[in-house]
Amino acid sequence: MHSNSWTLREILIVAFLGAVFGVLYLAWVQVWLITQAMFGPVTMDVVMGFWFIVSIIAAAIIRKPGAALLSEVLAAVVQVLLGSPAGLLLIVTGLVQGAGAEAVFAATRWKNYRLPVLMAAGVGAAVASFIYTWVRFDYGALAPGLLIAMFVLRCLSGALLGGLLGHWVTQALYRTGVLSGLGIDRDRRVVHG
């Protein structure tokens, strides 16, 4: 059993992840804009899951309350500092998405980081973001069939681009040895040691 207090190394890792993914998130906007031009408005929901990935990766590595939320907010702050056209509202978006993922980890009492939970955290971020964008962009005015399609696509994207891809990235990082001594490593040693 390990403490919920954070070490300086854990804080620095989450800050680093937030910075790296803040840059990647800004680049991902270009992917979204290109696919939107080709396939229409629901493409945002198809690609949205990538914007949740840092919360999954940080939580899976650190395994402490707040990792998902903090990493997503830091990524949003970095995007704002780099001049994202979304401006300060992006920080609210980061809070919402991070809280959606964090809620799933909280439901397990921050003790389960298996793939189904990581995918569920991606769905949690998707649901929270969908509620937020519903209010922000007046989704109530949209046709019910379109709304259902958008919601399902966003949840699938959260599960796959957030949860599954986040799991793969975390496993790849773990194999390098750079995560030694962190929550993911301690839990592996308990299971396999």
Handedness of CA 61, 59, 77, 155 (dihedral sign): positive
70 is a domain residue: yes
Residue-by-residue pLDDT tens, the chain, 193 positions: 457 899 999 999 999 999 999 999 999 999 999 988 888 878 999 999 999 999 999 999 999 999 999 999 999 999 999 999 889 999 999 999 999 999 999 999 999 999 999 999 999 999 999 999 999 999 989 999 999 999 999 999 999 999 999 999 999 999 999 999 999 999 988 876 5
Query: What's the rounded Cα separation, in Å, for the pair 60 and 43?
Result: 27
Q: How many domains does the chain have?
A: 1
Query: Measuring CA to CA, which residue among 72, 61, 184 is closest to residue 124?
Result: 72
127 is a domain residue: yes
43 is a domain residue: yes
73 is a domain residue: yes
Which residues span the domain enclosing 170? 8-192
Which residues of 17-153 form beta strands (DSSP E)?
Answer: none
Query: What's the rounded Cα separation, in Å, for the pair 33 and 186?
Result: 41
Tokens standing for 13?
A: 């890792």
2 is a domain residue: no
DSSP-assigned letter for residue 87: T
Handedness of CA 80, 160, 14, 91 (dihedral sign): positive
Domain harbouring 113, CATH code: 1.10.1760
3 is a domain residue: no
pTM above 0.85, yes or no: yes
